[in-house]
Amino acid sequence: MKITMVGTGYVGLVTGTCFADTGNRVVCVDVDQEKIFRLQRGDIPIYEPGLAELVHQNMKHRRLSFTTRLVEAVPGSDFVFIAVGTPQGEDGSADLSNLWAVVDQLAPVLEPQTVVVIKSTVPVGTNAQVTRRLEEKLGRRVDVASNPEFLKEGSALEDCIKPDRVVVGVRREEVGRRLRRLYAPFLRTDRPFLVMSPESAEMTKYAANAMLATKISFINEMANLCQALGADINDVRRGIGHDARIGFAFLFPGLGYGGSCFPKDVRALQAMARQLGLQPRILEAVDQVNQQQKRVLLDAVHEELGEDLSGHKVAVWGLSFKPRTDDIREAPSLVVVDHLLRHGAQVQAHDPVALENVRRHFAKHPRQANLSLHEDPYEALCGADLLVICTEWKEFQHPDLELMRRQMRRPIICDGRNLYEPELMAEAGFVYHSIGRAPVRPR
């Protein structure tokens, strides 16, 4: 089959590459000329484990190509997937300007056999609007399907090749059958292929992300209660996680969620509810708890170092919003680093892959000169009065504690991901603060 994939972000590039890897001919289109030039050279603009190798392999076999010319890519396509960004607008709703730009460019070259597939996360009812717009322009029936993505950054290839489920929203059974044939290589182990209305498919994406975000905010609120009441959130998490109705997934306390999906999708769902005259109380609380949680360790930092951090060096480990990605969008680390800089600290930060994105993010910060970025985690500790851990990279899980103590001026750790056991840290000579557990000090 021939597939045109419009948009080369995480979703478009990963999905297009996986389709090419099953023998399809895929053309990826993007308006960002520099990004396309990089991809044509084999330079992958995002970090995703295994993606570069798969892109290079499929480019070599001429199954995968890149262009800025939508009008040249679309003719002869069986499917045109739209995977452009739908960022948060000023009122919290999804900004669909990228989507409508693609639809308008697509109309003049769309052929009768081609199915348009909306992969972008869009408000409920967008499929119907796109269908009407295309049919008005073309004067004939157009098949527009909805196919929400459920990729997790850091494991996107695995999620694409071995999905928990594939959800498609269609108005004609034949379109569903065609999409099932396309996805057949990914369904060989009886992964469910769920066919529903486009409206239900659109809602499924938002509901899934909102549910996962709710679990994160819930366990974080419980962690804060545990800390205030003298309970241990790790014990409580085990106590409730073994209940089959609850489970352990997304039930880890920390500094809150970030990234490109959960924050904007929770707010977009709130905006949809308000437009209907409904009050999204749970969603509002989920968002508020998450924003507060990003600052929860800063009280511990000031408790140890004082309100004015001038003259103090603070190390930060982990800058991406989660491990195995260089994505820093809405990352808790950005809130932490900004706060430390504004209170006068010299910040020495390390992340395995996100340093360049962080450098660009803070390039115009008024205290940017007080931020240094380090390739080596132990180098970032040199002379530090305190270490804040923001991201649970596996490289941080078994560090050389003796080397850490030698590098640091004061052995104080504020762990936003509960990587270590408090008693072990006390025995190793550290003052140790974590989430939802009592702080400990060396005996």
Kindly list the catalytic residues.
261
CA distances from 175 to 79, 120, 129, 285, 427 (A): 10, 18, 18, 39, 63
| Rounded-to-10 torsion of CA 59, 62, 67, 71 | -160
User: Length of the chain in residues, anyone?
Assistant: 443
Instruction: Output 358-361 pairs: Cβ under 8 A, ≥24 positions apart.
Output: 358/319, 358/328, 358/333, 358/334, 361/328, 361/334
**Strands of the sheet with 79-82, listed across from one edge:** 64-67, 25-29, 2-6, 79-82, 115-118, 144-146, 166-169, 193-196
Q: What phi, psi does 341 have (nearest 5°)?
A: -65, -45
Task: State the sign of the Cα–Cα–Cα–Cα dihedral 301, 303, 308, 312.
Answer: negative
Q: How many alpha carbons lie under 13 Å from residue 219 in its C-beta half-sphere?
A: 31
Q: Nearest to residue 105, comparing CAs of 140, 139, 130, 76? A: 130
34 contact partners, CB below 8 Å, separation of at least 6: none
Structure tokens belonging to residue 58: 């499929």
Nearest-5° angle of CA 385, CA 388, CA 390? Answer: 165
Residues 78, 2: contact at Cβ < 8 Å? yes
Number of H helices, E strands in the chain: 18, 14
Rounded distance between C-alpha atoms, residue 157 and residue 178, angstroms: 22
Kindly state the helix (H) or strand (E) to which residue 74 belongs, with its residue range: none
Q: Which residues pair with 373 in a beta bridge?
A: 349
CA 148 to chain CA mean position, Å? 15
